[in-house]
Amino acid sequence: MSEKEVILTQEGLKKLEEELEQLKSVKRREVAERIKIAIGYGDISENSEYEDAKNEQAFVEGRIITLEKMLRNARIINNDEVDTDTVGVGSIVTLKDLEFGDVVEYSIVGTAESDPFQNKISNESPVGKAILGKQKGAVVDVNVPAGVIQYEIVDIKK
């Protein structure tokens, strides 16, 4: 079974690499120290500190494996590759809600680095899918739980 390609911007790659380094060099040691201290309390069969530390260790190791897999399958989008004629991963798109007139700007990124609170939306999100490959001036329909929202693509930039 082939692993899924992870599309990242240069910024997204850097963040994942930093998180991986933090987990490997700092967090692993902290959790190991917590386990060592908890074992020192004696009987580990009813030791909640030990259980918590072991659970955290499992989470940290799982996240390390996930990050390593993502980085192994990463395809980096360079700014030179970003086209300002059509929407793609790496584009910064200005959209206008045609019903309410609201204007919003989104960066189109891969799923690994999407963060709606920072206006970074995934190319696989409903809005991302609807505008991918479209040109400035295009009107797109986005299916959302509340119905359909119509957006006009006002601008595309790097």
Who's near 145: CB < 8 A, 6+ residues apart? none
Read off the pLDDT band of 2 (50, 70, 90): low
The closest of 62, 63, 57 to 38, measured between CA atoms, is 57
Over residues 132-142, the mean pLDDT reads 95
User: Judging by DSSP bridges, how do beta strands 139-144 and 120-122 pair with one another?
Assistant: unpaired
Segment among 17-21, 80-84, 147-151 with least mean pLDDT: 80-84
Question: Residue 81: its pLDDT value, please?
Answer: 79
Question: Residue 142: its pLDDT value, please?
Answer: 94
Read off the pLDDT band of 82 (50, 70, 90): confident
Q: What percent of the chain clears pLDDT 90, i.e. is strictly above it?
A: 76
Read off the pLDDT band of 1 (50, 70, 90): very low
| C-beta contacts of 23-27 below 8 A and 24+ residues apart | 23/60, 23/63, 23/64, 23/67, 24/64, 27/60
Question: Residue 83: its pLDDT value, please?
Answer: 81
Q: Determine phi and psi for 45, rounding to 5 degrees.
A: -70, -30
Q: Determine phi and psi for 76, rounding to 5 degrees.
A: -90, 130
Calculate the alpha carbon distances from 27 to 23, 56, 58, 72, 99 in Å. 5, 10, 12, 21, 48
Read off the pLDDT band of 125 (50, 70, 90): very high
Segment (H or E) for 9 = strand 6-9
Over residues 127-156, the mean pLDDT reads 94
Over residues 13-42, the mean pLDDT reads 94
The closest of 138, 157, 143 to 96, measured between CA atoms, is 138
Give me the domains of the chain, ranges plus CATH numbers.
6-77 (1.10.287.180), 79-157 (3.10.50.30)
CB 121 within 8 A of CB 109: yes
